[in-house]
Structure 1
Amino acid sequence: MTDTTVTSAEAGSKTGIAALLADLADGRIEVLDLTAPLSATTPALRLPAPFPNLIDLSLEKVAAFDDDGPFWAHNNIHVGEHYGTHVDAPAHWVSGRDGRDVSQLPVERLVGEAAVIDMTAEVEADPDFLLEIEHIEAWQSEHGPLPVGGWLLYRTGWDQYGHDEKLFLNTDADGASHTPGVSAACAKWLAEETPLAGFGVETVGIDAGRGFELDPPFPVHYHLLGNDKYGVTSLKNLDRLPARGALIVVTPLPIVGGTASPARVLALVEQS
């Protein structure tokens, strides 16, 4: 039998897909999971009355190695579109209501370079912290321009609360959620002045918990989705990514007519 093992030296002479596969095989590229576990206890957005909420995840047993399925187990899945780590499509928001549904997102825009901006210190000091244009310009001064067709991932440290919905939503006695987000001016700038395909956060939604107070309300939803850009929420492990150079793969289900979909989000990171 022919030995098809590729050594590191041989990988260095390869290019493109062959080089990527070789680097994956010998561990020079690590695959990281940026996805929150999906279960009945996954933190979810809670809208105030009178607005209805989507359902949480539940599994309905159909068969489990019994009379209904002697050789197999399977379940029906019941879950809202916007639950756990999920992708928002333009059709989700009033500004993009005539835009793409989640099944129509171009697959080439779901794979790209990840640019990671780290604002954990600022969020520790103020959970209502808003990302501004100047913060991203400072990042670009150090790391170069935002990647064409890439995704800006907003690291805030908020994934540390993902095990507890009360902490994750951080809602006060008046019902306001205090989680970090993006200013209205920065949201407009990201949507209209950058070459990004999407924007990712560690929080329950792509806007700040108090995003309803901004103009327009929930400006990241309004501007990004209205400009055919996409959002992904409830990410984790962003602390394991470099500021730039990782490859992100975003995999929503192609739900026809869907405004969003739970997704598995992976990152490929080169090891030093």
Structure 2
Amino acid sequence: MCAPAVIQHVATELSRRRFLQAAGAAAAALLLPWREASAQAAPAPSGRSLSFTHLADLTHTLTPHFPVFPSFDSPRLETRYTVERDGFYAREWIVAEHSGTHLDAPAHFVAGPDLWTADQIPLENLIAPLVVVSIEERAARDHDAQVTVDDLIAWERQHGPIPQGAA
């Protein structure tokens, strides 16, 4: 149970809509399924519906050894409270924004009033159909292998058109 001051702060600082958008974006990023694309093209982004046929846990446990951009410090996790001593467990995390794989917002590299920070990116921009074009066998022989146009054409011959807006 959170302290009353924390609950009050959240109630005044974080609207329900913004919370749901943030929670939805986080869930979508963590649970975005991959599946074989159908031969049908995906509907336009505004009319897209989601079908979760396979879930993939993309969790990577945050530790002090987590990769970070070279100019940042490694994550620091400090246990501040323990159940034995304080009646509850809590840690303080100090984590650089550029730790591990992360969402890189347009505002990281360009200045201006109309650029999005990560919390401003519309949720529908964070969800896309996923296509997996495997070059696993070629990559095992050639560590510099890259996906080519021929790989995409072969994939489409077998599975149908790659959906518009696919990742």
TM range (shorter): 0.5 to 0.7
Identity of aligned residues (%): 30
Amino acid at match of 2:80: V
The correspondence for 2:89, drawn from 66, 70, 73, is 73
The correspondence for 1:114, drawn from 121, 130, 148, is 130
Distance 2:110 2:153 in 1: 29
SS at match of 1:60: strand
Q: Does 1:39 align with 2:57?
A: no
Distance 2:110 2:133 in 1: 28
SS at match of 1:81: coil
Distance 2:149 2:112 in 1: 23
SS at match of 1:86: coil
Larger Rg: 2
Distance 1:138 1:93 in 2: 36
Change (3 A) 1:30 1:79: same
Structure 2: gaps spanning 5 or more residues: 1-50
Count, aligned residues: 117
CA contact (8 A) 2:68 2:96 kept: no
The correspondence for 2:141, drawn from 115, 125, 131, is 125
SS at match of 1:62: strand
Distance 1:89 1:145 in 2: 29
Partner residue in 1 for 2:79: 61
CA shift for structure 1 position 106: 1.3
Q: Deviations over 1:170-210 (max 9, x none)?
A: xxxxxxxxxxxxxxxxxxxxxxxxxxxxxxxxxxxxxxxxx
CA contact (8 A) 1:65 1:72 kept: yes
The correspondence for 1:88, drawn from 99, 104, 111, is 104
- The CA RMSD over aligned residues, in Å, is 3.1
Higher strand share: 1
Change (3 A) 1:103 1:30: same
The correspondence for 2:116, drawn from 100, 103, 119, is 100
Distance 2:135 2:64 in 1: 30
Distance 2:66 2:116 in 1: 27
Change (3 A) 1:44 1:72: same
Distance 1:91 1:146 in 2: 30
Structure 1: gaps spanning 5 or more residues: 1-19, 47-52, 153-272
Q: Deviations over 1:215-265 (max 9, x none)?
A: xxxxxxxxxxxxxxxxxxxxxxxxxxxxxxxxxxxxxxxxxxxxxxxxxxx
Distance 1:138 1:95 in 2: 41
TM-score (normalizing by structure 1): 0.36
Partner residue in 2 for 1:140: 156
